[in-house]
Structure 1
Amino acid sequence: MRYLDPKNDLTFKKVFGQHPHLLRSFLNALLPLEEGQVIESLEYLPAELVPVVPLFKHSIVDVRCQDNTGRQFIVEMQMLWTDSFRSRVLFNASKAYVNQLGRGRQYEGLQPVYALSLVDQVFEPDSAEYYHHYRFVHTTEPERRLEGLELIFVELPKFRVGTLLGKRMQVLWLRYLTEIKDQTELIPAELLAEPALEEAVEYLRESAFSRDELAGYDRYWDSISSERTLLAAALREGRAEGRAEGKAEGKAEGKAEGKAEGKAEGKRESALEQARRMKERGFDTATIQELTGLDEADISAL
């Protein structure tokens, strides 16, 4: 029997988007809940409320939940990473926090919002940690904190069994996400010994999917590969062209000032060409700005 990768859009939604009890188990294991706090209710957001951002179409942003103390959570599975993704997570969490305050409501009624992002890429190469928990703390007395927004990023490629002690279900769910690959045939016995994990594994059986679903599964991986290649190539080409054109134009001027100006102009021309290609592929203006350094007006004029 062969199984599919749970990180694919199709399989992730099949497991966690159709079975709330499995999602509750998953979130109670992954979120930094204190003793006595458990998630009780889940709300799947309708499609029209899920953000549509071209570069981030490989993310799942469709679950809001609440625990037994009233805290709200945003759940997000992200396959591609850029620095602007971190900003977007903060923006979405902030919006969820602000939207709690309806007309006539008091600030005292605001509940904290947690955003959990599972990222299938390494984005903190200088850190050995795979679990990153951000919150508002006092700079000199970290035990003092402000309740409000908390962001949790999990770098899945860094997870290894034995690196986390004390939270058994967290280890099991992370093993589920990282050890089951496309065409996996042998499932670890530890996963099958836990009822929730055993059920979640069953939903990954290749034979349970139709031919059309399997074609969509393959297309998803193809699109992930294409986006990663495009993003890497755009950054690489922009840097190389900027250096080459700046050097050539600087030499022609024969002066230090001319060299600096030529280099700057070369970088600008390269950035414009990079932005033009990204715009043709559907990247949003904010992402293009971050990756190229161009003004919004320059991008709009392309």
Structure 2
Amino acid sequence: MARPPMRYLDPKNDLTFKKVFGQHPHLLRSFLNALLPLDEGQVIESLEYLPAELVPVVPLFKHTIVDVRCRDNHGRQFIVEMQMLWTDSFKSRVLFNASKAYVSQLGRGRQYEGLQPVYALSLVDQIFEPASSEFYHHYRFVHSTEPERRLEGLELIFVELPKFRPDNLLAKRMQVLWMRYLTEIRDQTEQIPPELLAQPELEEAVEYLRESAFTRDELAGYDRYWDSISSERTLLAAAIREGQAQGKAEGLAEGLARGKREGLLEQARRMKARGFDAAAISEITGLSDAEIQTL
């Protein structure tokens, strides 16, 4: 009697991502060394996990971000986020969190000279820069006319997963393998690319995705996560479509911009009517407190 095929789960899910990268520092180290824009001699040698950021639970859009935080042997901090739903305010949120992590180092009595860099790596499962063919976006403080001069401290990296192609010649070998791990293994995958299994770290990371290794309750939570993502995307898409429809008569360029804003305002009105606080509404829509108060 033939055995049923071995199936694997998607590594982008909250359950699987944290099982692989939130419980195995050697795998996270390999992943960060491959994905981060580290200069020669800046290789991460060891990691320790830090507590996840304590933020208020937002009933809506509460499952879009998977968060892992750690610090290496040099004191550098790394914030790794798997973002399933893109909004215009997400970059600001990432900058805020990275800045807070950077400033919080002074709370341990250090002088300014002892501050260590903070890297925020955001893996986004949507295309948010349609005008660019690049999947990898690196932001840092540089001189406006002499980019080789820069201020150390914050490094923000955004990766558009849907844009990645394995034949990208600019990507490093391990970067390609880890990106393939994230983009080619999906829910109920049965065949794993042999190139992944040939690399020890990737082979181990693949093993943690075996469906048979999870309990029934864990699999139920895995499915609930995907259901919540689908609901959130549907809600946001409906708000944008509604706003765009209202703006069609006002000219294409101006109408799209105003339409999107009207959609966000209408979404904020509904959230306010349902009892959401101003901070939660602002986080989701990008509207200011003043704008929300006038609704």
Contact kept in structure 2, 1:72 and 1:111, CA below 8 Å = yes
Q: Are the equivalent residues in 2 in contact too, given 1:28–1:38 (CA < 8 A)? A: yes
SS in 2 for 1:7: coil
Residue 241 (structure 1) shift? 3.9
Change (3 A) 1:78 1:121: same
User: 1:56–1:142: structure 2 CA closer, same or farther, 3 Å change rule?
Assistant: farther
Shift of 1:212: 1.5
Take 1:116 and 1:270, find their aligned partners in 2: how far apart are those partners?
Answer: 29
C-alpha spacing 1:281/1:219, structure 2 compared with 1 (3 Å) = farther
Q: Quick check: 1:276 aligned with 2:269?
A: yes
Q: Corresponding residue for 1:149? A: 154
- Could you say what secondary structure the match of 1:170 adopts? helix
TM-score (norm 1): 0.83
Contact preservation (8 Å) 2:9, 2:211: yes
Cα distance change of structure 1 residues 159 and 276 upon mapping to structure 2, 3 Å threshold: same
Provide the rounded CA distance (Å) in 2 between the counterparts of 1:172 and 1:267: 37
Partner of 1:83: 88
RMSD: 2.8
CA contact (8 A) 1:271 1:293 kept: no
Contact conserved, 1:164 with 1:171, CA < 8 A, in 2? no
Select the residue among 111, 118, 139 that pairs with 1:113: 118
Contact 2:120 2:155 in 1 (8 A): yes
What is the aligned partner in structure 2 of residue 253 from structure 1? none
Q: Match for 1:286: what amino acid?
A: S
User: When the two structures are superposed, what TM-score results if normalisation uses the length of structure 2?
Assistant: 0.85
Counterpart in the other structure of 1:135:
140
- What is the rounded CA distance, in whole Å, between the counterparts of 2:118 and 2:264 in structure 1? 37
Unaligned stretches of 5+ in structure 2?
Answer: 1-5, 251-257
Aligned 8 A contact 2:142 2:151 in 1:
yes
In structure 2, C-alpha distance between the alignment counterparts of 1:293 and 1:230, rounded to whole Å: 22
Deviations 1:194-227 (A, max 9, x none): 1110011111111111122111111111110110
Aligned to 1:257: none
Larger Rg: 1
In structure 2, do the counterparts of structure 1 residues 270 and 198 end up closer, same or farther at CA, with 3 Å as the change threshold?
closer
Shift of 1:2: 0.9
User: For structure 1, which runs of at least 5 residues remain unmatched after alignment?
Assistant: 247-263
Identity %: 77
1:236 aligned counterpart, secondary structure? helix
Q: Deviations over 1:55-88 (max 9, x none)?
A: 35321223122254x3222221111111111100
Give the superposition deviation at 1:24: 1.0
What residue number does 1:250 align with?
none
Query: Displacement, 1:14?
Result: 1.1
Offset, 1:238: 2.9
- Checking the alignment, whether the CA contact within 8 Å between 1:289 and 1:296 is kept in structure 2 is no
Give 1:42's aligned residue: 47
Give the conservation status (yes or no) of the 8 Å contact 2:63–2:225: no
Deviates more, 1:17-26 or 1:121-130: 17-26
The question of 1:63 aligning with 2:69 is answered yes
For residue 240 of structure 1, what is the aligned residue in structure 2?
A: 245
| Contact map agreement 2:268 2:292 (CA 8 A) in 1 | no
Kindly indicate whether the alpha-carbon contact (under 8 Å) linking 1:5 and 1:11 is maintained by their aligned counterparts in 2: yes
Question: What CA distance in whole angstroms lies between the structure 1 residues aligned with 2:214 and 2:7?
Answer: 11
In structure 2, what residue type is equivalent to 1:295?
Answer: E
Q: Summarize deviations over 1:8-60 as a string: whole Å, max 9, x none.
A: 1111111111111111111111111112222234333335x333453353212
Residues 216 and 111 of structure 1: CA distance in aligned 2, closer, same or farther (over 3 Å):
same
